[in-house]
Structure 1
Amino acid sequence: MNIPEHNSRNNIDRFNGFQELYDQHRPQAPGMVVDLLTNYLQKRPGLVVDVGCGTGLSTLIWQGRAAKVIGVEPNEDMITVARRKLEQLGDTDRITFEQGYSNQLPVDNGAADIITCSQSFHWMEPVSTLQEAARVLASGGVFAIYDCDWPPTINWQLEREYEHLIRLSDRLIEQHADPDTTASKRDKNTHLQALQDSGHFRFTREIVFHHTEPCSAERYTGLLLSQGGIQAALKLGAAAQHLESEIGVFQAMADDFFRGGVINVLFSYRMRLGIK
């Protein structure tokens, strides 16, 4: 599949090979997203386009809440899981998954009421992506970028170790990975400014909200392992041995904290939103 200009093969390939783990442990987008964006749109959406949809965790929440939903994802491993889940739901008339790119959407001019980017905009080239969003959004349409903070809130020792392992994986990638194959991630704190600077939106703002989900030791460890940086570092082979050892320590800490039980963890979300 040819990659359009301004897209990165390295960013797409970063998510190869751990799609099942990702889908099993990552949080489904909360229903509050649907409520917030529908309120801003001021009507039931005709078409929702979920860009960088991954395994469909942020797409399928729109089932029954929009006339049509399209999930767009460049990574074949991720979209294969999304399509399998959709087949199980059997709602293929109203929901589809298309392999594609943020700056080349399979949507007619002005056809979309809502475009979302869940945990994905930081992997996209912002200028061409927002130009494409402006093309396909109807007047009054909503463009929303939303991400949850890592790690989820539950216990300070676990969170400190989680952050340490993320930093360790980043250092290993910097020291040992081939720069020509390394993914490039934008600072999420620049998302709102990108919306404002684009000139495509009459209103922009940031919204903060929270959501709780049940979590076990297995899931909390799985959330850590679902991080792209962790997975990229583990692929470094011998250079990742220390990381593997420390992940084992983290898993033991999680086992000790959860003690075989399930506890609600807090996911904190930041949404950057623009109205065309």
Structure 2
Amino acid sequence: MSQPSAPQDPDALRAFGGRVSFGRTAADYATHRAGFPQAFFDILTARGYATPPAQALDIGTGTGTLARGLARMGLQTTALDPSDDLMAQAMQLDTEAGVTTAYIKGAAESLPFDDAAFDLVTAGQCWHWFDRPRAAAEAARVLRPGGRCLIAHFDWLPLPGNVVAATEGLILAHNPAWAGAHGTGLYPAWLSDLAIARFTGLETASFDIDQPYSHTAWRGRIRASAGVAASLPRDAVAEFDSALADMLTREFPEEPLRIPHRVWLATGVRA
């Protein structure tokens, strides 16, 4: 999930407690936040959603986790985000991975590209931040006929008594305005967004995995979330991080933590 582009979805801002800036979390975001697993990219290959040498655009790219995976698959990849800080981290990670993506600053609602410029438009962990109807219309505009839009998520799952539920409770104790708890990792409304923008052949896919995190990595992952460092002042972030460290040591001492996640995607084809 990247720094939200302007204009932001008012419902998303209310859900996450007001103005959110992921640029403030760029280092933690790049270091500790797990990206989409290989099994996700295997689905893209198996279903023919992403086939080299297609031209792909990843909007709301953040630190480039989805764009980097597409580049590894052999696609010609361009990525867009409003945050210079996040894209700087993305370029460094690309260099380490030995891939190249063209990064461009911009907003999903007003893409700086010609009509019919791409074969694939992707959005990972970010669709809820956009003005969704405008973003869907722009995705359709820049896709060639027969091109595909793909919206994907990789979300933690709060289950009774698990570390995710306990962590969400702690976030709420420190940031009561945050309403991002209790997620299911499923987004049926995104299918309506695609249908209204006249995408056809709509499909979904999902699967669950356990993502390992050390205590240090989980603390960094949570600092990088919308309810903590992206929206709280620095001293409040430090106070929260200390409380999370204490909770992990006391209640979840095992390492690595096994954090349940759900991968979910929705996709459609430009008629």
In which range does the TM-score fall when normalised by the shorter chain?
Answer: 0.7 to 0.9
- Matched pairs, number: 252
Q: Which has the larger radius of gyration?
A: 1
Q: CA deviation at 1:172?
A: 4.4
Letter in 1 for 2:194: L
Matches within 5 A, 1:102-117: 102-117=108-123
User: C-alpha deviations, 1:26-74, integer Å up to 9, x for none?
Assistant: 1111223333334243743511111101011221112231341011111
Give the Cα–Cα distance (whole angstroms) in 2 for the partners of residues 12 and 167 of structure 1.
Answer: 17
Partner of 1:194 in structure 2? 193
- Residues 1:19 and 2:13 aligned together: no
Q: Which TM-score applies when normalising by structure 2?
A: 0.79
Give the Cα–Cα distance (whole angstroms) in 1 for the partners of residues 257 and 175 of structure 2.
Answer: 29
Partner of 1:219 in structure 2? 217
Give the Cα–Cα distance (whole angstroms) in 2 for the partners of residues 148 and 35 of structure 1.
Answer: 15
Helix, strand or coil: the match of 1:72? strand
- Please, which of 166, 172, 175 is the counterpart of residue 161 of structure 1? 166
Give the Cα–Cα distance (whole angstroms) in 1 for the partners of residues 130 and 156 of structure 2.
Answer: 20
- Please, which of 260, 263, 268 is the counterpart of residue 262 of structure 2? 268
Cα RMSD over matched residues?
3.1
Cα distance 1:32–1:47, how it changes in 2: closer, same or farther (>3 A)? Answer: farther
Task: Note if contact 2:6-2:107 (Cα within 8 Å) is conserved in structure 1.
Answer: no
Give the Cα–Cα distance (whole angstroms) in 1 for the partners of residues 113 and 42 of structure 2.
Answer: 23
Give the Cα–Cα distance (whole angstroms) in 2 for the partners of residues 236 and 263 of structure 1.
Answer: 26
Give the Cα–Cα distance (whole angstroms) in 1 for the partners of residues 230 and 99 of structure 2.
Answer: 34
Cα distance 1:122–1:173, how it changes in 2: closer, same or farther (>3 A)? Answer: closer
Cα distance 1:57–1:152, how it changes in 2: closer, same or farther (>3 A)? Answer: farther
Identical positions, percent: 23
- Residues 1:146 and 2:145 aligned together: no
Q: CA deviation at 1:194?
A: 1.5
Higher helix share: 1
Cα distance 1:150–1:213, how it changes in 2: closer, same or farther (>3 A)? Answer: closer
Partner of 2:76 in structure 1? 68
Q: CA deviation at 1:75?
A: 0.9
- Residues 1:44 and 2:42 aligned together: no
Worse-matched range after superposition: 29-38 or 135-144: 29-38
Helix, strand or coil: the match of 1:224? helix
Cα distance 1:106–1:89, how it changes in 2: closer, same or farther (>3 A)? Answer: farther
Matches within 5 A, 1:82-161: 82-92=90-100, 95-151=101-157, 156-161=161-166
Task: Note if contact 2:52-2:76 (Cα within 8 Å) is conserved in structure 1.
Answer: no
Give the Cα–Cα distance (whole angstroms) in 1 for the partners of residues 59 and 202 of structure 2.
Answer: 19
Letter in 2 for 1:250: L
